[in-house]
Structure 1
């Protein structure tokens, strides 16, 4: 493991936490080798499913028992995990978004997984989508084992689509013009909007749609500390102009937030809805006639924005070999049962599950199961990822563009300028 000093690790943790309140939640020092500490940030329906998975693994009597600690999503969670790792008093295993690995692995806050021990519990690289496995790597080693992929997708009301005569067109559209035409036809059916999309005050929502469509143009975004951001401004402006064209108070609300957009779709006041797969349980509970699909390829290149929940090994000052082997078994057993995790809309990362008849029968989940083959995560850099300020920087500079009062080029340039300031800073470690 890294020979970083405690002082440098604490410095890293403070930088990653962004100055948030630090609360000690370290696991107790006197635990048996069969008592596993597991931290995650799953709440709501996700939390209930995860609790069921852990209970099922514990009930299998495999020689260990996992105890869950559920912490608040976002900065509070990542702050506490960073500080626990910096102090060497971290849990045995924890959940981390794949988009955060680039900020934690280089600083010595995570330990790599052992491929031989993974093989002993039946897990191999070939069991995971290539792009997902790659995202979990740092310096040629696996620092995370993916539980899922959770992308941004397109939901649609099947009854409205049938009345508008666009059911087939939804599946075959290949251009911004076709999307606009379909949305307009759906608006005529609903009498309100053709599309629900909430973004106001939510940088994450703005970024998810922008990055999906930006990457569909074939453009990339490379962020390397010490160098200027490598971006395609023409592609960014093209993407922003298209998004703004949808937000015209006819196709979609010019200034809708997430709650308003969801409620509108749930009440049948729109025909389509841009949202994460994690929205699926609430939509299905409402008994809405719906289907879901990947966001159509409108600019020539298949691309979708997503993140992944992953299992990581936070740094511990002293690792108990027996307990560590139990962690490998616990993770393997959860992955092998992860068809239950798909109930929440997520795409299980463990391929034997997604290829199973049980998963393929899940609708609409299996309709977008191919997204991991062309998934796009946040750019790999220490300040990006879920629960960070990266997407807020995008919102600060581009929200006025979405609202219709800002210049797309100027807004994107402001975002890039903010990125360049961060890239000019030395990485925390």
Structure 2
């Protein structure tokens, strides 16, 4: 029945070039067309006659009846979000009646989505598969969580969004599609994190950990999730360890220029642990390789760079979340994260410079006359055979490649100076200036 794809594609098509008002109008139009095709619309100038409720048998015969429920829920949700967007610029915030109106609209959409879940639960009559039922339950939980979010009912909000998070995580691991991942990263996880902050859940707990703890202990729902072959509910599984990030090897502190800062965000600790693991693998690979070409050595840096980038992204997200929550720049949490940001960015840029140095060749590419060995065979025979003279064109091309690498290194050094706190560190600035002059001289 492709419930999630139907909803997400409808939202993306409208919100890509419009806003919630556009989506509200489109949902209203699609709903009218759907009712007309099913013969449920009142004829022009005809007397209104209330139609019966949708049944599981009707959904089995024609999936358009399910789309009718989904469009009704989406229209109500879009109306609520439209009202929220209209009043988002109010200086005094959302008034009581306005908030109540928004909540009532979204709650109506949640009630309609929950009706769809009840109908699909009658598997024999509706013909729904396990995936269809789980997608409908996750969608209904997501809409209900949105209503509770707007109503500032934080604990129920976490529980509702946790159901959606666990189900979409299980579906994502089973089907390997980006649709579920986008919903998780863009909608569900930020909402869980904000609601968890409101009820004083520590940031050291990752979002998957929070979702597992808040997931309801309904035997039928737990069994349905486990039937997907996913390990998202198992605390000791490899997937859980990877997502949870609270493994014993995750660092608790980070040091930067003599200052030790506690890592309070679990996502940052997870990324730093991945960086340490990738660094160890890189060292083993470089030391165990019998014959390593520059490009092969540079490729070995990729995992470290990816993990380092994840650490910088996690730090940036943590700072942005605190700012959105209204935390002052002078707050100790922001200050600690700024130091962490400088430390992780410095490490990432250092690895990037190291990769450039490997690609430059021996002595950072200072030996202009040494031709690189592009194959393993050529490198092994380099000590026994006299090297051939290289064509001038090829030599000039190699020099141009080195200049590009030097330029990238110089830009990286400049970017370090822009990191928070570096401008006030005279000793570090002297080291950076000396390194800058070194690579500028090589260029």
Q: TM over 0.5, yes or no?
A: no
Structure with the larger RCO, 1 or 2 (CA within 8 Å, 6+ apart): 1
TM-score (normalizing by structure 2) = 0.25
From the two aligned structures, give the one with the greater helix fraction: 2
From the two aligned structures, give the one with the greater strand fraction: 1
TM-score (normalizing by structure 1) = 0.26
User: Which entry has the higher C-alpha Rg, 1 or 2?
Assistant: 2
